[in-house]
A and B are shown apart, each in its own frame.
Chain A
Amino acid sequence: AQSVSQHNHHVILSEAASLELGCNYSYGGTVNLFWYVQYPGQHLQLLLKYFSGDPLVKGIKGFEAEFIKSKFSFNLRKPSVQWSDTAEYFCAVVSGSARQLTFGSGTQLTVLP
């Protein structure tokens, strides 16, 4: 069965700091990978996704993620965070044998002004 691990439960950064949130998955075959975000008081929404091709994927609001197959990782990055990036971030995976998204446990990001 596929699974997703997010090892950072809570990350606190100051504005302008660089961000990297870890995501590792357990399935060895073809995978589709996603990052979802939930801003305070808002619905969960898709931030970016990887299906195939260029392993560096760019999403909304300056976020990007890199798929590294050898490390089973799909880490989320942003060069310079803003206070408005405070949110909970979820990594998710769909593998070839599964039909539905499997979500990680989430990482709460707090950006201090």
Chain B
Amino acid sequence: NAGVTQTPKFRILKIGQSMTLQCAQDMNHNYMYWYRQDPGMGLKLIYYSVGAGITDKGEVPNGYNVSRSTTEDFPLRLELAAPSQTSVYFCASSMTGDREKLFFGSGTQLSVL
């Protein structure tokens, strides 16, 4: 069972570079989420999507963009990387009837230097 797959697992960026974090799920879940986890801060919601073609901002969306062209994929884009975006990023998904039971990916450790 693949579940939620995130790539890459690790990445180092220079300030000002851009990149896309990939997220795919094979459970046909409508809901998908991007969180970032900073030490001692818990998980903060960046963006979420309730279905293909629909996205919305979470608690900390600045500096990020998302798209949801298919049910399976929910990429997260960093346009101009900044040191403040150094974090661990988690993608998650959930089904309509049990929205709060999130299935998480393994995370992407991103460092911006």
Judge whether B40 and A105 touch: CB under 8 Å. yes
**A71 interface residue, CB < 8 Å from B?**
no
Among B3, B102, B103, point to the contact of A101 (Cβ < 8 A). B102
Judge whether B33 and A100 touch: CB under 8 Å. yes
Judge whether A44 and B41 touch: CB under 8 Å. no
Q: How many A-B residue pairs have CB under 8 A?
A: 44
Tell me, rounded to whole Å, the shortest Cβ–Cβ distance linking A100 to chain B: 6
**A61 interface residue, CB < 8 Å from B?**
no
Judge whether B42 and A104 touch: CB under 8 Å. yes
Among A45, A46, A103, point to the contact of B42 (Cβ < 8 A). A103
Tell me, rounded to whole Å, the shortest Cβ–Cβ distance linking B107 to chain A: 8
Tell me, rounded to whole Å, the shortest Cβ–Cβ distance linking A10 to chain B: 10
Among A34, A100, A103, point to the contact of B48 (Cβ < 8 A). A100
Judge whether A9 and B101 touch: CB under 8 Å. no
| A interface residues, Cβ below 8 angstroms from B | 4, 6, 9, 32, 34, 36, 43-46, 49, 90, 92, 94, 100-106
Judge whether B42 and A34 touch: CB under 8 Å. no
Judge whether A49 and B42 touch: CB under 8 Å. no
Interface of A is mostly: strand
- In whole angstroms, what is the CA distance A46 to B42 when docked? 15
Query: What are 22 A-B pairs with beta-carbon distances under 8 A?
Result: A4-B42, A32-B100, A43-B3, A43-B103, A43-B104, A43-B105, A44-B104, A45-B104, A46-B101, A49-B100, A90-B42, A90-B43, A92-B100, A94-B100, A100-B33, A100-B45, A100-B48, A101-B100, A103-B42, A103-B43, A103-B44, A105-B42
Tell me, rounded to whole Å, the shortest Cβ–Cβ distance linking B55 to chain A: 13
Judge whether B42 and A44 touch: CB under 8 Å. no
- In whole angstroms, what is the CA distance A92 to B104 when docked? 14
Could you say which residues of chain B place their CB within 8 Å of the CB of A94?
100
Q: Which 4 A-B pairs have the closest CB atoms?
A: A44-B104, A105-B42, A103-B43, A103-B42
Tell me, rounded to whole Å, the shortest Cβ–Cβ distance linking A71 to chain B: 21
A43 to chain B: closest residue by CB: B104
Tell me, rounded to whole Å, the shortest Cβ–Cβ distance linking B43 to chain A: 4
- In whole angstroms, what is the CA distance A9 to B43 when docked? 14
